[in-house]
């Protein structure tokens, strides 16, 4: 049986990808108590990084939106790999969105909305979360966006 979360994503034409492997000496997701936290997710499909460059110069803001959406899908995949059934999530607590930013780019909110909207499509009202959106001059592998998701889960 697929989870309600996966059914909702399916209605938006989305499926949960295979959880990407770590790109360094760390693990992609951990549970501590009732919190699950992912490592920084990049806009990867499998081992391929799909969105490189600085948002506001190399990467248009609307493309950055899609990059953030892809990061969020990867984060959901990590959470699923950690807890098995996504319906155990009781709240998406926090999103950290890092945007590799060109000089003078200030629309970080619009970019990270790509992740936030996807999370609400997936989890409904409990998908609504706190958020930081900040710029970085450079990100790992030249990724346009990096994203972390914190989720609260039931026993």
Q: Which of 113, 122, 123, 144 binds its own copies (CB under 8 A)?
A: 113
- 146 touching its own copies, by CB under 8 A: yes
- Nearer CB in complex with its own copies: 2/27: 27
When binding is defined by CB under 8 A, the residue of 1, 33, 47, 48 that contacts its own copies is: 33
Q: Is the dihedral of CA 64, 96, 107, 144 positive or negative?
A: negative
Contact between residue 60 and residue 111 where contact means Cβ atoms under 8 Å apart: no
Nearer to its own copies, 2 or 154 (CB): 154
**Tokens read off for 89:** 């999530």
What's the N-to-C CA distance of the chain in angstroms? 20
Burial (Cβ within 10 Å: 0-12, 13-18, ≥19) of residue 14: middle
Query: Is 57 an interacting residue with respect to its own copies (CB under 8 A)?
Result: no
CB 45 within 8 A of CB 17: yes
Sheet architecture: strand order including 145-153: 29-32, 35-38, 145-153, 89-100, 130-136
Sole binder of its own copies in the list 1, 13, 32, 47 (CB under 8 A): 32
134 counts as binding its own copies under rule CB under 8 A = yes
Contact 114, 66 (CB under 8 A): yes
The stretch near its own copies (CB under 8 A) out of 7-15, 69-77, 142-150 is: 142-150
Among residue numbers 70 through 99, which ones bind its own copies (CB under 8 A)?
91, 93-96, 98
Binding residues for its own copies (CB under 8 A): 22-30, 32-35, 37-40, 91, 93-96, 98, 100-110, 112-113, 116-117, 120, 128-142, 146, 148, 152
């Amino acid at each position: 049986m697929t989870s309600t979360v996966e059914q909702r994503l399916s209605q938006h034409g989305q499926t949960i990808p295979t959880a990407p492997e770590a790109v360094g000496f760390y693990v992609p997701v951990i549970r501590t108590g009732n919190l699950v936290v992912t490592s920084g997710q990049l806009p990867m499909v499998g081992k391929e990084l799909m969105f490189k460059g600085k948002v506001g110069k190399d990467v248009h803001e609307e493309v950055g939106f899609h990059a953030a959406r892809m990061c969020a899908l990867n984060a959901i995949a990590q959470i699923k790999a950690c807890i098995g059934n996504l319906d155990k999530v009781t709240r998406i607590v926090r999103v950290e969105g890092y945007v590799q930013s060109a000089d003078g780019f200030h629309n970080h909110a619009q970019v990270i909305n790509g992740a936030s909207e996807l999370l609400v499509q997936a989890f409904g009202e409990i998908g609504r979360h706190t958020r930081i959106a900040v710029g970085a001059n450079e990100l790992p592998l030249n990724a346009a966006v990096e994203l972390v998701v914190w989720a609260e889960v039931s026993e």
